[in-house]
Structure 1
Amino acid sequence: MADYDYDLFVIGAGSGGVRAARLTALDGKRVAIAEEHRVGGTCVIRGCVPKKFMVMASDFAHQFETAKGYGWTVDASFDWKGFIETKDVEIARLSGIYAANLGKAGVELIHGRAVLKDAHTVEIVGKDPTITAERILIATGGRPWIPEGLPGIEHAITSEEAFHLPELPKRILIAGGGYIAVEFAGIFAGLGVETTLVYRGPNILRGFDDDVRAHLADEIEKRGIRVVLATQHDRIEKTEAGLLNVLDNGLEIETDVVMFATGRVPHVKGLGLETAGVELTEQGAIKVDEFSRTTAENIWAIGDVTDRMNLTPVAIREAVAFHQTVYRDTPTSFDYEAVATAVFSQPPVGTVGLSEAEARRACRKGVDVYLTRFRPMKYAFTGSDERMLMKLVVDADTQRVVGVHIVGPDAPEIIQVAAIAVKAGLTKQQWDATCAVHPTVAEELVTLREKQRPTEMAG
């Protein structure tokens, strides 16, 4: 057996890489992890965590409006710079905890960009000597994608720069229709920014249930977001007054900031994958098998760089499966079925399982659909016309609930528990047998009794 510097070398100290490194080191293995930026990766540094802080900050404006209906008089203002400073302090604290936990587990943390020189050798750019490892794990995540060649694209920002804007703009245009786009649209609109969301598709949140997509589009417009669909940028022009967004449908919109949230791509550039025998998929992600092994026998990859299911908790579960497979002699693959997810739009979305369209393709004897739209009790005094959506998709043959979709207050919190029932394969009758908690919005999930008729579903 060759004498290597480490038993495991991890490239990328995000959620997945950190978890794999710690578990392996705690088993007594020699482990090092390299990170070219800050420990914590996309989620902690430039993703889920700071974004959630921004969502919570921006939602206060809506809460203040609601409070008026309950007799409160609120005189409030928002300090963008103060918030950004506080947010950055908290992110630094969390990054420090990640780094400290690596040290406590016995993992050596190397700050620098790691590049593969061959299947067992890694170079830290600008440092000598090279490092060897018996096994290598790639967990470098993803990076924002922007359309190269679009005239004026140099004037646009991505979500990564949005976390550090020196001042809050008065007007912003966000290009995109996925998680990141609708979440930042809600953030900026909530903070009083004139917000326009432009998406080339027929509706936002491609891949989600169609009722969810339509409902959310209506609701975010009620929050003051202008939604422009079926178009995209032709060019961006810098003017004395700001940035002129010229769209391919002829519409021209002037803003102070243009943000592209048009997706993320696996971060594989410059890693030296070809020299190590690691192949990519046609989409540019690292090709792996069900156990996260690449085409190089001793190299594995997990998380967004594999473009399987790009969610932080999934990357962590893939890390655990890697450790079980490689170091515990227990071949383990992550089960991607019925993974719950949330969109922290305003209002938020929670979903698990199959959309109605997916279920109709998968369920051989059809589906039963239960759907309700209602005004949450919280808005009874406010005159608001905001509505909540709850939808159950049921396999007509087995009566298993195969999909749950929620748009409205606390949807992400509710869907986490609903996911347990969907993952367990519980039937609609078992949901019906569960006593409601009253008064709550969540009780609708166990009191829905009336199926949608075909004419209602068609409409």
Structure 2
Amino acid sequence: MLTIFNKRAIVRLVFCAGTGSRFGSTYKRNHNYDYDLIVIGGGSGGLACAKEAIQHGAKVACLDYVTPTPLGTKWGIGGTCVNVGCIPKKLMHQAALLGEGLHEATAYGWDIPNKEQIKPDWNKLVESVQNHIKSVNWVTRVDLRDKHVEYVNGLGSFKDAHTVVATLKNKSEKILTADKIVIAVGGRPNYPDIPGAIEHGITSDDIFSLDRAPGKTLVVGAGYIGLECAGFLKGLGYDATVMVRSIVLRGFDQQMATIVSDAMVERGINFLHKCIPKSVEKQADGKLLVKWLNTEANTEHSDVYDTVLWAIGRKGLVEDLKLENAGVVFKGTKIEVSEAEGTNVSNIFAVGDVIYGKPELTPVAIHAGRLLARRLFGGSTQTMDYVDVATTVFSPLEYACVGLSEEDAIKKMGGEENIEVYHGFYKPTEFFIPQKSVRYCYLKAVAERSGDQKVLGLHYVGPVAGEVIQGFAVALKAGLTIKTLFNTVGIHPTTAEEFTRLNITKRSGLDPTPASCCS
């Protein structure tokens, strides 16, 4: 065992010497600077970029610092996804599904005494979720140490194009220089500019570690974060209301967005459409009086809630970077980049949620970060393909998609007459015995109307949506056609097979509702 360890140690030293890598890079270190690369931001994109650069022989430092929320919430390394995004969201979504499953189990023959008295323990759930997150934080720190990425727990800002100032917890400063710098600071939630918003409201940065049960909750915002939070809160037994300023799931296929919200209404989640908040006031009993305006009827309304959660969009964290010192141009709170993630300053790059006009998704940031490091230090020329990126909304009845929405396909192809939409409702087999509603289980394939009908977009609402759409995303990237889709034999009985069974077009006007699970 000692011999094996020593061999690994020798290999590790070779990797970090700057003379090459296991990928055969010929990268040579620039000794005019402390580092070859400084990554500002310890989230998914920044970490992926830093670790990939190390593999190609670069000397790398990674800066990470979390400014506490107005409520005082803070977290460890790993960025939004690990700490206050994808991971805790999916865990709480799963907790809600498990609660639903407990109630369905009796229909399948399980004897669950007093099932109506089964209630979730919010504090225990939060503790379990936070324990998992802390374990990921620890593993991440160990991984950086093992890969010899220098981790600096400090708030990074530019002194000039090659110099970064890290402000540490004790307010002291550490100066670092690098040949190349990657900005990967991500984003944080917005607060509305109304009385009481910051003092009395929370965001998704706070909900996953909230030290009390949220109770009756108003979620302001109908993007995917708002719908997901309202969904798992309702699933855990809390009254949830979603306030919608304009439309649900902006940027997504609007037919599917309507199906998702209608399915949520069926489950008892309230929606306030065409409404904007005006103020939040804390009452003597600690509850929150929220006043809002219905912009369609021009009427004012109010109600009392235990929790108000803002989900009205996110901003890029450019404010503390002092980008002007490096000459980096930015647009609003985001940084515009080239196809190769380059800013207007030749040695400064950006990846992840801080860049303008790209999908704000963890896998996108990770892949872009790795590819960037390979180009900078490994001789690669491959750039990130931001087209046809699959995603999932973890609403109670999940929605996943890849490719174009029906609306965007119509625009791209020059009119409705140039696309064909195959669609259908379906009945998941597992829904029958507990008599779950199949009313909103629906999918569609948007395709070109001519030739073999290249598929432009796939959309699915139903169980385990992300697992279903992932494989089809590969097919779509590979040039999937309707002809190929229809020649694919499905796995029965699954819900994913429904894509291979689509045979009704919207243009035909025929009823897309099946007579049975096998029709």
How high is the TM-score relative to the length of structure 1? 0.95
For residues 381-415 of structure 1, the C-alpha deviation after alignment (integer angstroms, 9 at most, x for no partner) is 22333431111111112401111101110111001
Q: Which residue pairs with 1:285 in the alignment?
A: 334
8 A contact 2:52–2:374 mirrored in 1: no
Partner residue of 2:373 out of 323, 343, 349? 323
Q: Distance in 1 between matches of 2:421 and 2:261?
A: 21
Q: Which residue pairs with 2:95 in the alignment?
A: 57
Shift of 1:443: 1.3
Give unpaired runs (5+ residues) of structure 2. Answer: 1-29, 67-75, 295-299, 512-519
Of residues 419-428 and 374-383 in structure 1, the stretch that sits farther from structure 2 once superposed is 374-383
8 A contact 1:219–1:386 mirrored in 2: no
Q: Which residue pairs with 2:254 in the alignment?
A: 210
Of residues 44-53 and 445-454 in structure 1, the stretch that sits farther from structure 2 once superposed is 445-454
Q: Distance in 1 between matches of 2:328 and 2:199?
A: 32
Q: Per the alignment, in what secondary structure is the counterpart of residue 69 of structure 1? A: helix
Q: Per the alignment, in what secondary structure is the counterpart of residue 323 of structure 1? A: helix
Q: Distance in 2 between matches of 1:269 and 1:102?
A: 27
Tell me, yes or no, if structure 1 residue 421 matches structure 2 residue 475: yes
Q: Which residue pairs with 1:40 in the alignment?
A: 78
Q: Distance in 2 between matches of 1:454 and 1:127?
A: 69
8 A contact 2:460–2:469 mirrored in 1: yes
For residues 244-298 of structure 1, the C-alpha deviation after alignment (integer angstroms, 9 at most, x for no partner) is 22110223221100000111110111111110011102x3211211101111111
Q: Which residue pairs with 2:427 in the alignment?
A: 375
Shift of 1:182: 0.4
Shift of 1:351: 0.4
Q: Which residue pairs with 2:150 in the alignment?
A: 108
Q: Distance in 1 between matches of 2:509 and 2:279?
A: 43
Tell me, yes or no, if structure 1 residue 439 matches structure 2 residue 493: yes
Of residues 88-97 and 64-73 in structure 1, the stretch that sits farther from structure 2 once superposed is 64-73
Q: Distance in 2 between matches of 1:169 and 1:303?
A: 31
How high is the TM-score relative to the length of structure 2? 0.85
Shift of 1:152: 4.6
Partner residue of 2:393 out of 318, 321, 343? 343
Q: Distance in 2 between matches of 1:300 and 1:31?
A: 15
Identity, in percent, stands at 37
CA RMSD of aligned residues (A): 1.7
Q: Distance in 2 between matches of 1:150 and 1:291?
A: 42
Q: Per the alignment, in what secondary structure is the counterpart of residue 251 of structure 1? A: strand
Q: Per the alignment, in what secondary structure is the counterpart of residue 321 of structure 1? A: helix
Shift of 1:151: 4.9
Q: Which residue pairs with 2:13 in the alignment?
A: none
Structure possessing the higher radius of gyration over alpha carbons: 2
Partner residue of 1:334 out of 384, 396, 400? 384
Q: Which residue pairs with 1:244 in the alignment?
A: 289
Shift of 1:183: 0.4
8 A contact 2:41–2:183 mirrored in 1: yes
User: Residue type matched to 2:208 in 1?
Assistant: F
Q: What are the residue-to-residue correspondences of 1:44-193 with 2, within 5 Å?
A: 44-74=82-112, 75=115, 76-125=118-167, 126-193=171-238
Q: How many residue pairs were aligned?
A: 455
Q: Distance in 1 between matches of 2:321 and 2:215?
A: 40
8 A contact 1:66–1:379 mirrored in 2: no
Of residues 184-193 and 435-444 in structure 1, the stretch that sits farther from structure 2 once superposed is 435-444
Give unpaired runs (5+ residues) of structure 1. Answer: none
Q: Distance in 2 between matches of 1:153 and 1:456?
A: 51
Q: Which residue pairs with 1:397 in the alignment?
A: 450
Q: Distance in 1 between matches of 2:447 and 2:250?
A: 22
Q: Distance in 2 between matches of 1:39 and 1:243?
A: 33
Shift of 1:153: 4.3
8 A contact 2:422–2:444 mirrored in 1: yes
For residues 346-372 of structure 1, the C-alpha deviation after alignment (integer angstroms, 9 at most, x for no partner) is 111110001111111112461111111
8 A contact 1:151–1:234 mirrored in 2: no
